[in-house]
Amino acid sequence: MRKAGAEGRDKDYGGGHRKDRSGDHSGDHGEDGTAEPRHARKSIGAVLAEARQAAGLSVQQLSARSCVRETLIDAIEKDDFSPCGGDFYARGHVRNLASILGLDAEALVHEFDELHGGVPLPVRAASVFQVERPIKIRDRRSPNWSMAMGVALAVIVVFGVVKTMGGAGDTTTAEMQASSIPPPSSSPSMALAPEQPRQATALAAGSRSDTVVLEVKAKRSSSLQVRDSKGRRLFAGTLKAGKTSVWKAKAGVRVTFGDAGAVSLQVNGKEVGSPGRSGQRIQRYYKASAKTG
């Protein structure tokens, strides 16, 4: 039989303090002195699932509140963290779900680190950032000087041949033909005239109104996760203090801020300040015309 009060050995994830692992271990042994099995403790997924059910929430409702996909919640409740895409994102999902369900988020994250361990390598922005649609500007065509010089040379040759033959009347005819040919200097103007509206059209296409431009400046170091409107990852890691990064994407971008008060934003050229309070972990969606939460 277990000693009295042994039922309280399990970790308290309901917001209480964690028990000291290096303290009294007398409650971790049975009467015969053998250690209690570690698997008797509830897993992270089981704790989250029980808390969700106790709160009367379905997976779909929890997904709507936490902005975590239903498939990910199902996998996490089964202690399958592989769909999360790495330890960094798994920690964030566990902390997010635990906070919404009223659990001790830091205790669960600590438990995750004990089981899965290791700190993820930082993701470089250059390796994940990809421009949604490159702006193409047509090269300006140079004037066709070769054709103009060829025409001028032909006129000179004809004039020389006629003059050599000594025909005065023919000379007059050759001069009239030469005067009817437009001077070479007019050819570049004619070639450049239709090109200008094409360049204006190309530049206008490059600044499409359906593209959102997000600029993030870190007042102090803060973790960020940036995805486009289709869920593709543009950045995940830590933006160092004093650094500024810019992302462009079609339709919109979804950003998860580890410390909302540590950054200031500029969306589509408009200053919007910090997205939240200092130390607050939030998620925001920014689109081409306005900001939504």
The CATH number given to whatever domain includes residue 111 is: 1.10.260.40
Q: Which amino acid is at 292?
A: T
d(CA 11, CA 9): 6
Q: Residue 42 pLDDT > 70, yes or no?
A: yes
Cross-strand partners of 247 = 214
Give the end of a domain, one of 65, 97, 116: 116
207: Cβ contacts below 8 Å, ≥ 6 apart = none
Phi and psi (nearest 5°) for 279? 80, -5
Out of 62, 96, 116, a domain closes at 116
CA atoms lying within 13 Å on the CB side of residue 155: 18
Is position 106 within any domain? Answer: yes
Name the band, by pLDDT with cuts 50, 70 and 90, for residue 177.
Answer: low
Confirm whether 3 is domain-assigned.
no
Report residue 48's pLDDT band, with 50, 70 and 90 as the boundaries: very high
213/288 same-domain check: yes
Whole-number Cα distances in Å, 218 to 125, 170, 213, 283: 15, 82, 17, 16
Residue 198 lies in a domain: yes
Within this chain, do residues 246 and 200 fall inside the same structural domain, yes or no?
A: no
Task: Give the per-residue pLDDT at 145.
Answer: 80
pTM to 2 decimal places: 0.31
For 15, residues 6+ apart whose C-beta sits below 8 A from its C-beta are 102, 103, 104
Q: Supply the range of the domain harboring residue 154.
A: 145-204
- Asked if residue 216 and residue 177 are part of one domain, the reply reads no
What b-and-e string marks burial along 14-43, b requiring 16 or more CB atoms within 10 Å of the CB? eeeeeeeeeeeeebeeeeeeeeeeeeeeee
Of residues 274 and 139, the one with the higher pLDDT is 274
Who wins on pLDDT, 255 or 124?
255
Average confidence (pLDDT) over 192-220: 63
Contacts (Cβ under 8 Å, ≥6 apart) of 171: 159, 162, 163
Task: Please state the φ and ψ torsions of residue 67, each to the nearest 5 degrees.
Answer: 60, 25
Q: Same domain for 225 and 262? A: yes
Backbone angles phi, psi at 103, to 5 degrees: -95, 170
C-alpha closest to that of 147 among 195, 191, 177, 178: 191
- HSE toward the beta carbon, residue 15, CA cutoff 13 A: 6
Boundary (domain end) residue, out of 97, 116, 135: 116
Q: Could you tell me if residue 10 is inside a domain?
A: no
Q: Which pLDDT score, from 0 to 100, does residue 140 have?
A: 59
Token pair recorded at residue 273: 């300040």
Instruction: Identify the pLDDT of residue 181.
Output: 56
Strand pairing report for 252-257 and 222-228: antiparallel
What is d(CA 100, CA 231) in angstroms, rounded to the nearest whole number? 22
**Co-location of 200 and 244 in the same domain:** no
265 and 220 share one domain: yes
Does 36 fall in a domain?
no
Asked if residue 212 and residue 288 are part of one domain, the reply reads yes
Residue 38 included in any domain: no
| pLDDT score at 250 | 85
Task: Examine the domain organization and report whether 199 and 220 are in the same domain.
Answer: no
φ, ψ for residue 181 (rounded to 5)?
-85, 125
Please check whether residues 199 and 212 belong to one and the same domain.
Answer: no
Write the CATH number for 259: 2.60.40
CB 224 within 8 A of CB 236: yes
Residue 164 and residue 185 in one domain: yes
State how far the Cα of 262 lies from the Cα of 221, in Å rounded to an integer: 7
- Beta-bridged to residue 227, according to DSSP, are 233, 254
Tokens 């490159």, residue?
Answer: 134
- For residue 248, pLDDT beyond 80: yes
Alpha helix ranges (H) inside the chain: 44-54, 59-66, 70-77, 87-100, 105-116, 125-128, 145-165, 168-180, 186-192, 195-206
- Is 219 part of a structural domain of the chain? yes
> Chain-wide mean pLDDT for the chain?
72
Model confidence at 32: pLDDT above 80 = no
Structural domain contains residue 74: yes
The number of distinct structural domains making up the chain is 3
The verdict on 179 and 215 lying in the same domain is no
For residues 184 and 246, state if they share a domain: no
Pairing status of strand 244-250 against strand 282-287: unpaired
Give pLDDT tens digits for 144-167: 788 888 899 899 988 888 777 765
Question: Is pLDDT of 13 > 60?
Answer: no
